[in-house]
Every structure is written in structure tokens, then in C-alpha cells.
Structure 1
Amino acid sequence: MTSTRVIGPYKVPAIGLGCMPMSGMPPSKDWILKERDTAIGVIQAALDAGVRLLDTSDIYAPTWNSVGHNEILVAEAVRTWSATSAQKDEVVIATKGGITRAPEEGNWFGISGRDASEHYLYRAVEASAAKMQMSTIKLWQHHRLNHFMPFEEQFENVMKLKAHGIVQNVGVSNYNAEQLRRAIKIGGTPAQGGLVSVQNEWSPRSRAWADVLEICEEHGIAFLPWSPLGGIDNSQSLENAHFSAFEEVAATHKVSRFAIAIAWHLAGSPVAIPIPGATRKESILDSFTGLNVKLTADEMAHLNASLPANPPLHEELIPQPPFRT
């Protein structure tokens, strides 16, 4: 395992920071909305520790009319970080778009609005760049597919964002294997100026996308596991007794089970860059120690043998757009 990984033209440490919880999501984290300085301090502590990938989205916001809340927070944290200009230039803020939100939809997790039209995506990236006070976005990822619009048209519109000039590199989120193959055929691999990242759920708890990960490895596409530690507020997170093997291996290495989960991700794939979320400095610094853990083949086998059965996919991810005939 190396301590750095590649996302398109960028080389970053092999762990990023998922910034969604800093906007009070899920609701158990809404306390942080009253502690903006704490949220910024968590991001800056991660940067001080060496993190250079910050994951955000326009839809990470506490209310329908505060879209961009997380983007604004993350960009401010980087701007006010006490580092050199060269260090700040190393940071990749990866944002996302494609989900819409209406006044009656209080919590974005349950919403159904999707828009992948060319016009909407242009306006979305322009709004994200403006909120983050950037002329260009280093990495923009399509957050959710529209269930009814032809898949190929959606990805073609994503690729047009590069020609638009605001987006330097594009990625996708929540793609299955066939969608990823078609996206590569349309837009190319990272080496061809095409797709550079895929962000899907992947953790010791949930491993439904093994075929997607294999395609990413084949083409050098960064795989960014969301909920890499099993998911906040989840009954089968690493707190669960199913994961006693992670406790055992953690004791051997004198680190936490969460650090072992990060090490499990990195040992499992050369393109994986887990993005654990955090609302406390201690949490992200603890996860970061997983970079220094080198799991043996026997330890990996022990961990993998202990994993529970995959939970069913979230109902939101089951409807899929049609392919062109």
C-alpha cells in the first residue's frame, strides 16, 4: 500500500474527508449547525494532518433554500486555513450536483428530484463555483441519475461540463457496472480525458458494487467509497458485534476498529480513497491512522470472512434510467 492515490491529474493522500455531516446531516448531527467554528476546525485539522481531498455537494444543506451550505463552509475552511498558497493549491474540493429540492422536502435523503438536463447542469456548476468563489472546479461528480431520462443523454451532458470551462474533471456517483462501462465508452478513461472517479457506497457493511470497483481498477478510475465505516446511525455499523474481527485486528495494531476499516479499504484496492465523515477532529485524525496500518494477507482473510451479508440497496437506488435502444 502507498500513502498516496490518484484522481485524474491529482495525487492525494489515500484518505479524504466527507464533509456532509458538517451541514447537520443526518439529523443527529444538526447540533453542529450552531457551531460553525467547530466545523471549520474539523476540516482544517484534517488538512493539517495531510488530507487533500474534501468531498462536498450542492445539496448538502440543512434546508431547501440553503443549497450550497456545505460548499460555502468547505471553501471558507480552505481559504482561512493557515497554510501556504502551495499547500492550498494541493487541495481537491470535489463537489456534486444533479439533485433538486423543493420547499416541502425538509430532509434531502428522502427527496426524488433529479435533473440531468444540459441547462440544469450548467447552472448547477456555475452556482457551485460561485458559492465556493472559484473560477474552476477541480472535480465535479454527477450525484444521482434521473430515473426517466435516457442514461446516455445524462452522461453526455455531464461530459459537456468540461467544454463549458468551469469543470476540470468529472466523476459520477451511484453507478452500476453497465452504466460505468457505457460512460467509459462515451467519455473515455482518465488517460483519455474522461471519467476520473466513481463514488459509491462501499464498506465492511455494504459491498454491493464489487464489479464497479473491478472496472475502476482496470481503467485507473478513482473509487471513492461513501459511508466507508458503515454509515452514521446504522445498526450494522462497526459498533455492531458482527465486526468483532475488526476489534481483534485493531488490538493487534493498537489502533481503533475504524482505523482498521480504513486499512481494509486501502489493502482491498489500489484505487480506493475512502472519505469518512466527521464532526470531531478526533474522529478524522483517528481514521487517518489507518494509513499507517499494513494488514497481512491472513488479517485481510480474517476480516473478510467476518463480514455480514450485504443489506438490500436503498430504495432510492433501485429505479434506473433506460438505456438507448
Structure 2
Amino acid sequence: MSSTDKAGKADKAGNTAPGGTATLAGHPVARIGYGAMQLAEHRPGRPALSPDAAVALLRTAVDSGINHLDTAEFYGTAAANANDLIRAALHPYPDHLVLATKVGAERDAAGALVPAQRPEQLRASVEANLARLGTERLGVVNLRRLDHAPGIVAEGEQVVDLDSQLAAFIALRDEGKIDGIGLSAVDADQLRHALPAGIVCVQNSHSPVDRASESVLDVCREHDIAWVPFFPLGSAFPQFPKVVDQPAVRAAAEALGVTPVQVGLAWHLAHYAYTLLIAGTTDPAHLAENIAAGAVRLDAQTRAAIDAIAVPAAT
């Protein structure tokens, strides 16, 4: 096994880009970014993060070289929203910071997450992100398709053909409101169908214990499309396995003197050169742990052992 190194390029502020750099919608970004969902959506049993602490964490992330933030207007509520926290922490935004958001769902009057797949809803969601973030342009907007579980599923008038949705995104890009179009929770056929629209990234669930999207990743490899896995360490749903519990991952961590989390994230970086990670956290120590994963190097034998993880299907 290799241990760690200091690979990475300095950003415009002089920070070393965690994990090195790749391109997202024409922008150079650190391969380790930050997902903002947990800042505004607190899991049971965990203390709520104060707005001041969330602002401090975001500033620490950017000061550490992260320049790709993943957010959504529906992360949180009207009273506690991830976009509000990003704006409070970082506006006016530095030129090198890329804001990526996601549309395709919204909060209803009771605060429940519901589908918002129709083209006019997608446009309204983009406009809402722009307004709350206080910017005239977004680096990337990801279309979250709702074709199947887990999560909410589109039904009735919310079942919309992909071409109609892409047309709305292309119009927004032509108007200068977004730089790049991304897709989330899609299959390989959907991605291939959407390629003429100029897809810059795909966000699908993917990890050493969840390889169902490998065929989608193969299409990304063919076209040098950025791959942004969510649930990179295993699903947040308790019935699904966790990467950090796998013997191959724990053995690698012990041999390298790093944490299982860092091994899991390093596997993603080694799996595809255009992988961009958006692991989220509300803990400054965990943020530092995630950033340090960018320096972990796994040799071919270790990668093969992690690639060979076989996880029984959840029941």
C-alpha cells in the first residue's frame, strides 16, 4: 500500500485543492467539495447546528481549498435553509467558488418534500436558488429525476419526459443563468439520451457497497463527464450497509494509519479521474478528515480488494 502524499494544485487564493483538481462546467474545482444538506437538515439524535456554527464551517471549508459547494433550495426549510447559510457565510462569492444546486423537488406548505418535475417548476426552482443565494448565475444545476425509490417518486402530472425538462435547462443556460447542466438519479440510457444537451456532471448513489450505477459511470468515462457520487460512504438509510464497516476498508485504514472514512473517499478518487466528492458534515473534525482523504493513496492491490466487496441486497 502507498501511504499519503501532498498532491494537489493551489487555487487562486493560494490554497492546495484537496484531492487535486478537475473541471466542472468549465471551472477548475478541487476534487473534494462540500455538500451542504446536513447544515439545514438535522438527523434524529444529533444536536442541531447553530447558524453561526454553520457559517463558520462553510468558511473553514473554503479557506481549506474547497471551491465546489453542492446545495439545493429544498435543503432545509424557509426558516433554516442551506442557501441562506451559504449566502451568510460567503457572499459576495469569490470568483473561484462554484455553486452547484439541484432542482426537481420542493417543499409544500407543511414542509414535506414533494416532486416538482414540470418545466415551469424547474425554472421557478432555479430562480428561487438564484434569489436566495444572491447571485445572477449558478455554476451547475442538476436535474433530480424521480423515477424510482428510494425517496419520493413522481406520479401523475409530475411524470415528465426528459426532453421537456432539458429544454427548460437549455433555455436557462442560454439566458446566462446557469453554466452547466447536470443530471441526478438517472440510468445509462437517460444519460446517453441527454448527451446532446451538453451534460457536465452526473450525481448518482455510488460507493464500494453500491455499484448499481457503474454502467452510468461508464458513459461518463466515455465522455469525460464529471461524476459526483452521493452516499459515497454508503446509504444514509439504516437498512443499507456502510463502507466503513467493510473488512477490506478497515484493513486498508489500519495498514495506512488513516481512517476508514478516508479510505472510502480515496477509493472514489482512484476509481475515476473526474470524480468530485461532496461529502457533507456538521463537524469541523469530520470536515478536516474528509479534506485529508485527498492525500490518501491506495495501491492497486488495495483498490482491487475494495472493488471485490460483495454486499448482499438489503431486505
The TM-score by the shorter chain falls in which range? 0.7 to 0.9
The one-character-per-residue Cα deviations of 1:214-237 (angstroms, maximum 9, x if unpaired) are 111111111101111113463522
The one-character-per-residue Cα deviations of 1:60-118 (angstroms, maximum 9, x if unpaired) are 01x4x45x8111211222228xxxx7xx2111111111213222454x3xx4x22332x
The one-character-per-residue Cα deviations of 1:12-52 (angstroms, maximum 9, x if unpaired) are 111111110000244445612xx111111222222122111
* Matching of residue 246 in structure 1 with residue 249 in structure 2: yes
Aligned equivalents of 1:90, 1:301: Cα separation in 2: 35
Aligned equivalents of 1:9, 1:128: Cα separation in 2: 21
Q: How does 1:95-110 map to 2 (within 5 A)?
A: 95-106=101-112, 108=113
The one-character-per-residue Cα deviations of 1:232-279 (angstroms, maximum 9, x if unpaired) are 463522353xx1211111112211110111110011111211211101
Q: How does 1:153-164 map to 2 (within 5 A)?
A: 153-164=164-175
Aligned equivalents of 2:251, 2:42: Cα separation in 1: 31
Number of residues of Structure 1 aligned to a counterpart in Structure 2: 287
Alpha carbons 2:83, 2:133 under 8 Å: kept: yes
Q: How does 1:29-40 map to 2 (within 5 A)?
A: 29=46, 31-32=48-49, 35-40=50-55
Aligned equivalents of 1:168, 1:28: Cα separation in 2: 38
* Matching of residue 219 in structure 1 with residue 230 in structure 2: no
- 1:263 corresponds in structure 2 to 266
The one-character-per-residue Cα deviations of 1:120-175 (angstroms, maximum 9, x if unpaired) are 22222122111111011111111234552222212222222212331121111111
- 1:282 corresponds in structure 2 to 285
Aligned equivalents of 1:200, 1:161: Cα separation in 2: 23
Alpha carbons 1:5, 1:11 under 8 Å: kept: yes
Where do 5+ consecutive residues of structure 2 fail to align? Answer: 1-6, 9-19, 147-153
- 1:53 corresponds in structure 2 to 68
- For the structure 1 residues 266 and 248, does the alpha-carbon distance in structure 2 shift closer, same or farther, using more than 3 Å as the test? same
The one-letter amino acid of 1:182's match is H
SS of equivalent residue, structure 2 residue 183: strand
Aligned equivalents of 1:204, 1:28: Cα separation in 2: 27
Q: Which of 210, 213, 229 is the aligned partner of 2:214?
A: 210
Alpha carbons 2:84, 2:133 under 8 Å: kept: yes
% same residue: 28
The one-letter amino acid of 1:77's match is A
Aligned equivalents of 2:46, 2:70: Cα separation in 1: 17
Where do 5+ consecutive residues of structure 1 fail to align? Answer: 188-193, 313-325
- Residue 212 of structure 1 and its aligned partner are, at CA, apart by 0.6
Aligned equivalents of 1:158, 1:26: Cα separation in 2: 32
- 1:69 corresponds in structure 2 to 81
Q: What is the TM-score of this pair, normalised by structure 2?
A: 0.84
Alpha carbons 2:234, 2:242 under 8 Å: kept: yes
Q: What is the TM-score of this pair, normalised by structure 1?
A: 0.82
Aligned equivalents of 2:142, 2:84: Cα separation in 1: 17
Q: CA RMSD in A?
A: 2.2
Aligned equivalents of 2:281, 2:145: Cα separation in 1: 23
- For the structure 1 residues 89 and 139, does the alpha-carbon distance in structure 2 shift closer, same or farther, using more than 3 Å as the test? same
- 2:150 corresponds in structure 1 to none
Aligned equivalents of 1:289, 1:311: Cα separation in 2: 31
- For the structure 1 residues 227 and 102, does the alpha-carbon distance in structure 2 shift closer, same or farther, using more than 3 Å as the test? same
* Matching of residue 43 in structure 1 with residue 46 in structure 2: no
The one-letter amino acid of 1:217's match is R
- 2:137 corresponds in structure 1 to 136
Q: Which of 155, 160, 167 is the aligned partner of 1:149?
A: 160
Aligned equivalents of 1:25, 1:258: Cα separation in 2: 20
Greater mean alpha carbon deviation, residues 174-183 or residues 285-294: 285-294
The one-character-per-residue Cα deviations of 1:282-306 (angstroms, maximum 9, x if unpaired) are 1121011111111111001111223
Whose helix fraction is larger, Structure 1's or Structure 2's?
1
- 2:36 corresponds in structure 1 to 19
The one-letter amino acid of 1:249's match is A
Alpha carbons 1:22, 1:279 under 8 Å: kept: yes
Aligned equivalents of 1:171, 1:308: Cα separation in 2: 29
Alpha carbons 2:249, 2:306 under 8 Å: kept: yes
- 1:197 corresponds in structure 2 to 201
Alpha carbons 2:42, 2:48 under 8 Å: kept: no
Aligned equivalents of 1:54, 1:287: Cα separation in 2: 14
The one-letter amino acid of 2:213's match is W
After superposing on structure 2, the runs of 4+ consecutive aligned residues of structure 1 that deviate more than 6 Å are none
